[in-house]
Copies of this chain bind each other. A is one copy, B any other.
């Protein structure tokens, strides 16, 4: 392909390693000067393209870009903004193409979850229909680990490590105090519809009877009597009980255990507070003293305890996206292909966006233990390598040195109103 500019945007909930993907994209684009001119990043994700707010990444030093690899969150801003279907709002897609045209952008890298892969796919189709050649490459990202056709999603491994480490630490705390104090500890973690994150808590277990003793997955309908029975049996046996509960834990009819009532920008129910609900239930029915924690953003922002495997994969996927684009590919997403469990071996693969878009991967049935309160050896075999290795950021004065970019916008070429 002839030399043209590129556009990169971060989408949806940010992670500890999405900037590592950005780092991979930018560093690799800089190595392909024959194909790629300027690399623009969308200010606040795809909104940056719609509003023609294009961050000129060429203004950033090599040091600053390298620093992205160790910086959590979305360095250019992300957004929860889903483009409607082509039928409903073709104007938005046309505007994207107009902005791309105005800035000679022929490469589009979209770093996000299922919704974003869908958008990237549609933009590719529309560009083709409008006779504007555009190489659209999706880059997977989601802490929920729910994209298909990839061994895992960048962001997940680091959340998994955070949850496993925190569970092990809190469990030691509870164990040492349970004789006279807290008997039950409940940790609430993310995962709206898939229990991958909660399942990762199981990695804290070294021996039978180790915490977490109960994992509440969205995939397993919550049955109160069965749950309380298990809590009591665990306290009777071990003196304490540690529970990891997914924010998406639900009853058989699909009602979430705790429903904060609000809706997010995509119309999904905004969740929060299942841990206190579960803790109160235990207190009222069994009388045990409890403590609970809700990790919320702390878990997905915890770059300080990121998985080295996750960081490496996030970077590699960003790099691969650029290589695919300059090779002329479009409507594809680089993936992680696992070739061996132990020691973990993986390589970069490729999936068509049309197949990835809007498919939500749940945990396989054989990953969930018979009683529904834990995971199987197969699940642990899958999960274990994803948290391997530490990749500590540099510290100064006791705090991680995360970079802040200049984020200078390129001059606009189009009318602001559209």
Q: Give chain A interface residues in 208-248, CB to chain B under 8 Å.
A: none
Taking CB as reference atom, which chain B residue is nearest A299?
B293
Q: A80-B177, A177-B14, A294-B292 are in contact. Are A161 and B398 (CB under 8 A)?
A: yes
> Are A398 and B402 touching (Cβ within 8 A)?
no
Taking a contact as CB atoms under 8 Å apart, the answer to whether B291 and A400 are in contact is no
- What's the number of copies of this chain in the assembled complex? 2
Tell me whether A79 and B172 are in contact in the complex, defined as CB-CB below 8 angstroms, given that A392-B390, A400-B165 are known contacts: no
Q: Which residues of B contact A73 (CB under 8 A)?
A: 169, 172-173, 175-176
Main secondary structure of the interface of A (DSSP, over half): mixed
Near B by CB (< 8 A), chain A positions 129-180 give: 161, 164-166, 168-170, 172-177, 179-180
Contacting B at CB under 8 A, from A380-397, are 384, 387-390, 392, 395, 397
Q: Are B402 and A168 in contact (CB-based, < 8 A)?
A: yes
* Residue A399 lies at the interface, judged by CB distance under 8 Å to chain B: yes
A residues 394-416 with Cβ under 8 Å of B? 395, 397-400, 402
Say whether A251 faces chain B, with CB atoms less than 8 Å apart.
no
Complex contact A169–B301 (CB within 8 A): yes
Chain B residues with CB under 8 Å of A399's CB are 164-165, 168, 203-204, 387
Supposing A77-B179, A179-B44, A390-B392 touch, asked if A272 and B297 sit within 8 A by C-beta, the answer is no
Do A179 and B79 have beta carbons less than 8 Å apart?
yes
CA distance A402 to B204 in the complex (A): 11
Asked if B180 contacts A301 (CB within 8 A), the reply is: no
Q: Tell which of A97-105, A118-126, A303-311, A365-373 binds the partner.
A: A303-311
In the complex, A13 has a CB within 8 A of chain B: yes
> When A44-B180, A180-B79, A273-B276 are in contact, do A169 and B387 touch as well, CB less than 8 Å?
no
Q: Determine if B181 and A298 form an interchain contact, defined as CB atoms under 8 angstroms apart.
A: no
Check B272–A292 contact: CB distance below 8 A: yes
Q: Is B303's CB under 8 angstroms from A47's CB?
A: no
Residues in chain A within 8 A of chain B (CB atoms): 10, 13-14, 16, 44, 47, 71-81, 161, 164-166, 168-170, 172-177, 179-181, 185, 187, 203-204, 262, 264-265, 270, 272-273, 275-276, 283, 289, 291-298, 300-305, 307, 309, 384, 387-390, 392, 395, 397-400, 402
